[in-house]
Structure 1
Amino acid sequence: MIRAKLVVTKQGVPLWMDYLASPVLVMTSNTSFSAVGCEDGSLHVYSPAGRRLLPAIVLESTPVLLQSLHQWLVCMTSTGLLYSWDIYNLICCIEGVSVAPVLQQVVELEKEVACIRDIRIQEDGLPIIITAAHQAFVYHTNMKTWLRAHDSCVKESLLNRHLRLSKENFTHTQLTEPSVHVLRYGWVFWFMHRSPGEKITDYEGAMKKIATFKTVEEFWAVYSHLRRPSDLPNISDYHLFKQGVRPVWEDDVNINGGKWIVRVKKGLASRYWESLVLAIIGDQFDVDDEICGAVLSIRGSEDIISVWNKTSSNGKINLKIRDTIKRHLNLPAETTMEYKTHNDALRDKSSFRNTDVFR
């Protein structure tokens, strides 16, 4: 019996379709493959042209989370087991590892429940689990256990602290340097605030550099101690930009680009900003080096999130960036988004007026 019809489209044009015997609950895709997870515990993997790359993967229970990056497919099931596969080479990286130890370690905060907020895939296929308490966990395949890479309650990465052992204490053991999870690019957090009525003549000079990070551990050490967007004063801006790129229109990398703009209701910025930051530093946009950075602007009646890219004339790339923003922020399909080139911003000296509207 057919229980689901799967249709893949591009800009509204159907590319291919398939019929499945069980309702689809989760799905993921990238430029290499697409995958869907069904209610009956099966996974189906397709090529970009719609050809099934392998027979259905049969799991022990219903898939509840599905993520992909390059050749890697990561799945978590309703019984709390985590899998990671190399679809190209048909290799299992993580086989049914329980996430129960991670949930047991979640700090019990007021109005918080023990839950997984997000899962990010590293270049080697190993996932990083991020909890609602802003803790990050990685699975050590040789030790067969979870390691807490960062705890939001301390400034220093606990992973680094516990692995940074003295050779004098281990005279018969050869120690190696602790492994870190290096990001594809280095990134810099900036902050700017102005009082109501204050005019800033030197925009770049008014920005304060907060910190630079190049690894997952360094990111969490910085991010967990930043003030949440909901706690920032009015007319404040967070900037996250690649190391070496100035967060201004005139920068050589930015000058021929533009930005996608999302206006959000008050109270939603913290959740959206965190999801966007994780997607950007985790290289989830899959557009090579096109992403320059992102800005969160806290204003009186609304908050504004913008993603900067370096080539405003590339329509295909721009639409892909727009769709990736919608997907990672879980924005409704009817959400209005705006785009503005930096050259236009320079001409009218405005970031958010006279934009091109996309519905």
Structure 2
Amino acid sequence: LIEAKNSDRGSELVCSRGGKSKWTDQVERRVTHISGNKHFAAVAFEDGTLQLYSPSGRRALPSLLLPNRAAFLVAGQDDHTLLIVTTNLVLLVWDVTPGKESCMLNEVIIALIRNATRSGVALSNVRLSNCGAPIATFTNGHAYVFHKNLQTWVRVADQSFLKSEFTSRLRQPGPSGFGEVQALQISAARA
């Protein structure tokens, strides 16, 4: 568990496990977002920078300058993948494996946001699918997945998908009995 204690002079980051402090760090900036997994922690700051930490609390790299402040920050479930959406609508997917850092996707998502938010709908969540593709969900239940080969967003869920003859073709059961796409479609039907 990583917590940030913001103050007028900056922030104190505290990583703990089972109530016992593992490491701390003092920074002269205020924290806006934190995400991580067993491989790394990522901390976004109000000045548009991002700091990566190793599990032992070492700064993995110098501070990284984002295109703008972070709006969403999501670590992959069990890998070195990091998804960032900035306030100027740039979506970044990075592999932050130590010594092999790379940008896997750098996509401006203005068209996706503009198209989806015309009727007062808001972006509610951004995450990575099990196969590493960005998924954007909106308050109206619509969900989009980025198609890497086509370099575009594909709407995979809305209220009409359960009535579609193609819905059954998208079902690929996972551990819960539902595939990711089917779970998004069920969620859209409830919206």
TM-superposed CA distance for 1:131, in Å, is 0.4
In the alignment, what sits opposite 1:216? 180
Instruction: Give the one of 169, 175, 189 matched to 1:185.
Output: 175
Partners of 1:62 and 1:77 within 8 A in 2: yes
In the alignment, what sits opposite 1:79? 88
User: Aligned partner of 1:82: which letter?
Assistant: L
In the alignment, what sits opposite 1:199? none
Relative to total residues, which structure has the larger strand share, 1 or 2? 2
Instruction: Give the one of 102, 110, 121 matched to 2:112.
Output: 102
Is 1:4 matched up with 2:11? yes
TM-score (ref. length: structure 1): 0.45
Partners of 1:157 and 1:218 within 8 A in 2: no
- Say if 1:107 and 1:4 are closer, same or farther in 2 by CA, change over 3 A: closer
Alignment of 1:295-334 (within 5 A): none
Instruction: Give the one of 90, 112, 117 matched to 2:101.
Output: 90
- Say if 1:152 and 1:74 are closer, same or farther in 2 by CA, change over 3 A: same
- Say if 1:151 and 1:20 are closer, same or farther in 2 by CA, change over 3 A: same
Any stretches of 5+ residues in structure 2 without a counterpart?
Answer: 1-8
Partners of 1:86 and 1:125 within 8 A in 2: no
Rounded to whole Å, the distance in 1 between the matches of 2:105 and 2:171 is 17
Any stretches of 5+ residues in structure 1 without a counterpart?
Answer: 162-177, 188-212, 229-359
Alpha-carbon RMSD: 2.7
> How many residue pairs get matched?
179
TM-superposed CA distance for 1:99, in Å, is 2.4
Partners of 1:151 and 1:157 within 8 A in 2: no
Larger Rg: 1
- Say if 1:108 and 1:21 are closer, same or farther in 2 by CA, change over 3 A: same
Partners of 2:127 and 2:134 within 8 A in 1: yes
User: Aligned partner of 2:108: which letter?
Assistant: S
Partners of 1:137 and 1:148 within 8 A in 2: yes
**SS of structure 1 residue aligned to 2:189:** coil
- Say if 1:24 and 1:13 are closer, same or farther in 2 by CA, change over 3 A: same
TM-superposed CA distance for 1:116, in Å, is 1.0
TM-superposed CA distance for 1:107, in Å, is 6.8
